[in-house]
């Protein structure tokens, strides 16, 4: 399976991390407060599934949280499952 190599963009106006491939956009929707980042929903188009696009989005979101010293809250089931396999901060 190919791995996502496109850059992840933090689209602050729409409150989501995005990965674009052609005309399709995968995204991780978030809500940011002064001290935290809440991951709400991950959406990956069918054509991008099975290529680690969701994981790539989560990694970018977690890296943003680390850089900004933000607490992470995972409402999104995909993000929760990712964090069970890869604990935040490790």
CATH number of the CATH domain containing 41: 3.40.630.30
Q: What are the structure tokens assigned to 1, written together?
A: 């399976």
Structural domains counted in the chain: 1
Strand ranges, E, within the chain: 9-11, 16-21, 24-32, 36-43, 71-74
38 domain residue, yes or no: yes
4 domain residue, yes or no: no
15 domain residue, yes or no: yes
Reported residue count of the chain is 90
Per-residue pLDDT tens over the stretch 33-88: 999 999 999 999 999 999 999 999 999 999 999 999 999 999 999 999 999 998 77
Q: pTM higher than 0.75, yes or no?
A: yes
Structure confidence at residue 1 as a pLDDT band (50, 70, 90): low
């Amino acid at each position: 399976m190919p791995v996502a190599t496109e850059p992840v963009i933090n689209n602050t106006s729409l409150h989501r991390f995005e990965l674009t491939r052609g005309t399709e956009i995968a995204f991780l929707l978030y809500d940011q407060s002064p001290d935290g980042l809440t991951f709400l929903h991950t959406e990956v188009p069918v054509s991008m599934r099975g290529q680690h696009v969701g994981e790539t989005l989560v990694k970018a979101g977690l890296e943003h949280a680390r850089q900004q010293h933000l607490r992470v809250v995972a409402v999104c089931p995909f993000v929760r499952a990712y964090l069970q396999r890869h604990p935040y901060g490790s």
